[in-house]
Homo-oligomer: A and B are copies of this chain.
Amino acid sequence: MHGLMMNMPLMISALLKHADQNHGDAEIVSRTVEGGIHRYTYRAAHQRCRRLANALRALGVQPGERVATLAWNGYRHFEIYFAVSGMGAVMHTINPRLFPEQLVYIVNHAEDSYVFFDLTFLPLVEALADKSPKVKGWVAMTDREHMPQSKVKLLCYEELLAAQSDDYEWPVFDENTASSLCYTSGTTGNPKGVLYSHRSTILHAYGAALPDALNMSARDCVLPVVPMFHVNAWSIPYSGALTGCKIVFPGPQLDGKSVYELFEQEKVSLSAGVPTVWMGLLAHMKQNGLRFSTLKRTVIGGSACPPAMIRSFQDEYGVQVLHAWGMTEMSPLGTVTTFKLKHDGMSKAEREALQYKQGRVIFGVEMKIVDDGGKDLPWDGTAFGNLMVRGPWITSGYFKAEGGNPLKDGWFPTGDVATIDADGYMQITDRSKDVIKSGGEWISSIDLENLAVAHPAVQEAAVIGVRHPKWDERPLLIVVKKKDAQVTKEELLKFYEGKIAKWWMPDDVAFVDSLPHTATGKLLKTKLREDFLNYKLPSA
């Protein structure tokens, strides 16, 4: 027997209508690519989204068709988010930081019909245009005055809008309809597309706004530093409209000075971004003896937040850090570190130690850790295993079935290795591919690397598993020394003593001039494993 509740599908367009009706004069402020600050309201944004939907219809865009963006965080990108999904097409955000050959692959694989781009990315567009035969139009996200000269025939965003009426009714359709697409950039193989739905986006937006997640309300002013070209800017455009908060888009300028000035000018209360950006911001603040006058909380994710950064935000600047974890395949939010009632009265050191972890799940995400045989491991904060997740905003497979079915018994393998403690706080200890399997036991390469870089002579360190006749694999520490620093293998191994279990001790140390990295700056361990494939350990 069914309940007797209204059959109202969860639609992305409903977020925008809600924001217009209930928060019509709340502001959306953008630092533009052309220069200067643009400000308008949810009501004006909704009006322009309706114009854009009419423009897309006039261009012949059909339901399900992919429309791409190469753009910074700004109001036009926000409009494309809502207009494309709202009309039933698929909003495809492209990460412009990928390698050119990856971009060509992505545009062709997605079969994007139109690509909207910020002026910054004209050179990219010019490089892509010849190689993207299915793209029917390249739309410069600017007005006529700022239209650039180009060998590529360009459409002008503001002209498209100006030609249309704002009379448009958002269609209502199956909530499982695809709404948006984002490619993951793995370290191996081609990028794979994650295809979100209206349902997953709305459920995720509810989850993200909760007090124990981003804690967003109509009293907030939120500045997403995390780019809209990367996993939905952690839902801030959607949760923003859901809550009616003020949104501030930083545009292309993500240096410490620019971000700080925008925080202060616009009275930002909440921000979100990756550690690299915060590093620049904190350095700028320290150099200039600055203080935040309105910032209360900042969400840090994308990669593990260094403990020193948590302490700096909280102790020096009085800004609460929300350490978070997620994946493109998870819309992206999975866990956030927020405290519980039972933590009242905890010491500062204990609270910080908890904050080093990636946090506990938002309702809607389930997780577990398993060994290589798929057996559940205990939530004791010590056992570490492959982290698996499931839930209504987690991917069930990739666009065009690339890579086949990624699920194991209905769970998505994150590729991370983690511990989970009895209170549900998860901590990433390694990537599944990088964990070292020695005699049936696992050794965390990340733990060994973190310890190594604490040595004063070490610039950068990587630890990989090298084949061993008896133990299957044993750890090898690979080190880049600091300029002019001297250190021996023996000194480095000595440095580990007392800090790790004896059997975790690397079997050898190799000194190199540099380590290989991915386009987004991550250690490329696949390359290291190739380079050290036949490395002979002294113990072997």
List chain A positions with a Cβ less than 8 A from chain B.
1-8, 10, 14-15, 17-18, 21-26, 63-64, 90, 174, 176-179, 194-200, 203, 206-207, 209-212, 215-221, 242-246, 331, 338-342, 344, 360-361, 363, 366, 379, 390-399, 410, 412, 422-424
Q: Shortest CB–CB separation between residue A331 and chain B, in angstroms?
A: 8
Given the known interface contacts A216-B211, A217-B211, the answer about A363 and B2 at a Cβ–Cβ threshold of 8 Å is no
Given the known interface contacts A212-B243, A216-B211, A341-B218, the answer about A196 and B1 at a Cβ–Cβ threshold of 8 Å is no
Q: Shortest CB–CB separation between residue A368 and chain B, in angstroms?
A: 9
In contact, B242 and A363 (Cβ under 8 angstroms): yes
In contact, A5 and B245 (Cβ under 8 angstroms): no
* Nearest B residue to A1, CB-CB: B64
In contact, B3 and A178 (Cβ under 8 angstroms): yes
Given contacts A4-B399, A18-B361, 17 further A-B contacts (CB under 8 A): A1-B177, A1-B178, A2-B174, A2-B176, A2-B197, A3-B197, A6-B394, A7-B176, A7-B396, A14-B366, A21-B366, A206-B206, A211-B211, A215-B217, A218-B341, A219-B338, A221-B341
Which of B2, B17, B245, B394 sits near A341, CB closer than 8 Å? B245
Q: Which of A211, A221, A244, A424 has the most B CB atoms < 10 Å from its CB?
A: A211
A-side binding surface: helix, strand, loop or mixed?
loop
Q: Which of A1, A200, A210 has the most B CB atoms < 10 Å from its CB?
A: A1
Interchain residue pairs with CB less than 8 A apart (11): A1-B64, A3-B177, A3-B200, A7-B396, A18-B366, A23-B424, A24-B422, A206-B206, A212-B217, A218-B340, A219-B344
In contact, A210 and B243 (Cβ under 8 angstroms): yes
* Nearest B residue to A206, CB-CB: B206
In contact, B341 and A219 (Cβ under 8 angstroms): yes
The complex places the Cα of A68 from the Cα of B15 at a distance, in Å, of 37
Determine the chain B residues whose CB is within 8 A of the CB of A412 once the complex forms. Answer: 6
The complex places the Cα of A360 from the Cα of B397 at a distance, in Å, of 39
Q: Which of A63, A210, A399, A423 has the most B CB atoms < 10 Å from its CB?
A: A210
In contact, A195 and B4 (Cβ under 8 angstroms): yes
In contact, A6 and B395 (Cβ under 8 angstroms): yes
* Nearest B residue to A193, CB-CB: B4
In contact, B342 and A4 (Cβ under 8 angstroms): no
Which of B18, B194, B366 sits near A363, CB closer than 8 Å? B18
The complex places the Cα of A391 from the Cα of B7 at a distance, in Å, of 8
Q: Which of A2, A7, A397 has the most B CB atoms < 10 Å from its CB?
A: A2
Which of B2, B22, B199, B361 sits near A177, CB closer than 8 Å? B2
In contact, B26 and A340 (Cβ under 8 angstroms): yes
Determine the chain B residues whose CB is within 8 A of the CB of A64 once the complex forms. Answer: 1
Determine the chain B residues whose CB is within 8 A of the CB of A340 once the complex forms. Answer: 23, 26, 218-219, 244
In contact, B219 and A339 (Cβ under 8 angstroms): yes
Determine the chain B residues whose CB is within 8 A of the CB of A198 once the complex forms. Answer: 3
Q: Shortest CB–CB separation between residue A133 and chain B, in angstroms?
A: 22
In contact, B3 and A341 (Cβ under 8 angstroms): no
Determine the chain B residues whose CB is within 8 A of the CB of A423 once the complex forms. Answer: 22-23, 25
Given the known interface contacts A26-B342, A338-B218, the answer about A424 and B21 at a Cβ–Cβ threshold of 8 Å is yes
The complex places the Cα of A26 from the Cα of B509 at a distance, in Å, of 47
Determine the chain B residues whose CB is within 8 A of the CB of A200 once the complex forms. Answer: 3, 5
Q: Shortest CB–CB separation between residue A179 and chain B, in angstroms?
A: 6
Which of B4, B245, B331, B396 sits near A194, CB closer than 8 Å? B4
Determine the chain B residues whose CB is within 8 A of the CB of A10 once the complex forms. Answer: 392
In contact, A6 and B391 (Cβ under 8 angstroms): yes
Q: Shortest CB–CB separation between residue A46 and chain B, in angstroms?
A: 14
The complex places the Cα of A344 from the Cα of B294 at a distance, in Å, of 13
The complex places the Cα of A195 from the Cα of B2 at a distance, in Å, of 8
Q: Shortest CB–CB separation between residue A106 and chain B, in angstroms?
A: 16
The complex places the Cα of A395 from the Cα of B3 at a distance, in Å, of 9
* Nearest B residue to A212, CB-CB: B217
6 residue pairs, one from A and one from B, having the closest CB atoms: A3-B197, A22-B424, A211-B217, A1-B64, A206-B206, A5-B200
In contact, B176 and A3 (Cβ under 8 angstroms): yes
The complex places the Cα of A44 from the Cα of B267 at a distance, in Å, of 46
